[in-house]
Amino acid sequence: IKDGWFSEKNDLWPGQFFSLEVESILHHEKSKYQDILVLETKNHGTTLILDGIIQCTQSDEFAYQEMISFLPLCAHHDPKSVLIVGGGDGGVAREVSKHPLVKEIIQVEIDEKVIEVSKKYLPFMAKGFSSPKLKLNICDGFEYMRQHKSQFDVIITDSSDPIGPAVNLFTETYFKLLKDALKPDGIICSQGGTLWSQLEHVQDTISNCKKHFDVVDYAINSVPTYPTGQIGYVIASLNPNANLRLPKFLIQDKQAEELDLRFYNSDVHSAAFVLPNFAKKVLSW
Ligand code: AAT
């Protein structure tokens, strides 16, 4: 933070950075795993920053949390049992618990401090933790995956970027563990970086995923406060005939309103997979 502005400088997006004007520092600590910073910002509300990288701002978090949750949930015919890896702010738990077919949610977050801080400063997200469907575990997602087989219909990896505690969550071994933890016809969805500054990382993640899944796809949407204003999702199915682009569970205007969805609907679902030419190539890796 310099002269009242927080700047998100990182080698993952060299030669550029995004800045937010800061109203006050609400919280700052170093946990066992990472540096945790919570800011009140001038026009993006309360903002959570881990190791110098923006995880969510109050103004646009819904765009990311709804997409990473509803893309895989609605692509599945019956997503009864869902695993969330990461997501310490509670936003994905909040979204997953809205889906009428979901019966049980297990969440595995490595850093209990992120949960504590989110409960205090981001209650609009952390309300996900009070879902009666949720069971929360504090441990490394990678280690958890090793011990759980054929258990989940959908696994959502709401992970930080591939530095610090999340490095393992983009590797080939991780995708193998995901595959083994799914039930037949299971679907995964992982935070998949940005096309504009991390194209190689996106390519690597997709090719790691392709080694273990027959059907792999990539969806994108805009999230203004993420690097380059855009984020993608690696989404894959064990069912060789799956078309992840066509939602099986339809959500149009009325139901979107009932579920308090501000971004996701069935048209947004299919449109998210339409990629510009330079980006389509990442899928042929
Ligand atoms: N909901 C949007 C915010 C995130 S949070 C990512 C979470 O992943 C953090 O709470 C972090 O503690 C957790 N995490 C990191 N590594 C692990 C791990 N190995 N096991 C379990 N949880 C982990 C995502 C922001 C995306 C930012 C894009 N630029």
Terminal Cα distance for the chain, rounded:
39
Residue 114 has pLDDT above 80, yes or no: yes
| Ligand 1 within 6 A of CB of 118 | no
For a substitution probing ligand 1, which of 110, 124, 230 has the most ligand atoms within 8 Å of its CB? 110
Query: Can you tell me the mean pLDDT for 213-233?
Result: 97
- Would the CB of 36 count as within 6 Å of ligand 1? no
pLDDT surpasses 90 at 164: no
Nearest CA to ligand 1 atom 17: 166
**pLDDT of 283:** 86
Is ligand 1 within 6 A of the CB of residue 141? yes
Q: Ligand 1 pocket, 194 CB below 6 A?
A: no
Q: Which residues pair with 218 in a beta bridge?
A: 234
Residue located nearest, by CA, to atom 2 of ligand 1: 55
CA 166 – ligand 1 centroid, Å: 7
Partnered with residue 40 across adjacent β-strands are 24, 46
Half-sphere exposure of 244 (CA within 13 A, CB side): 28
Query: Structure pTM?
Result: 0.98
Contact 101, 121 (CB under 8 A): no
What's the count of helices (H) and strands (E) in the chain, helices before strands? Answer: 10, 12
Q: How far is the CA of 117 from the centre of ligand 1 (A)?
A: 14
Query: What is the rounded CA–CA span in Å between residue 242 and residue 257?
Result: 28
Q: How far is the CA of 189 from the centre of ligand 1 (A)?
A: 14
Ligand 1 centroid to Cα of residue 176, in Å, is 20
Q: How confident is the model at residue 79 (pLDDT cuts 50, 70, 90)?
A: very high
Q: Does the structure show a pLDDT above 80 at 233?
A: yes
Residue range 83-95: mean pLDDT, rounded: 98
Helices (H), ranges, the chain: 61-75, 91-96, 112-121, 123-126, 141-146, 172-181, 199-210, 253-258, 266-271, 277-280
Q: Using pLDDT thresholds of 50, 70 and 90, give the confidence band for residue 163.
A: confident
Query: Is 78 designated active site?
Result: no
Ligand 1 atom nearest to CA at 125: 1
Question: Which of 51, 158, 161, 217 is labelled catalytic?
Answer: 158
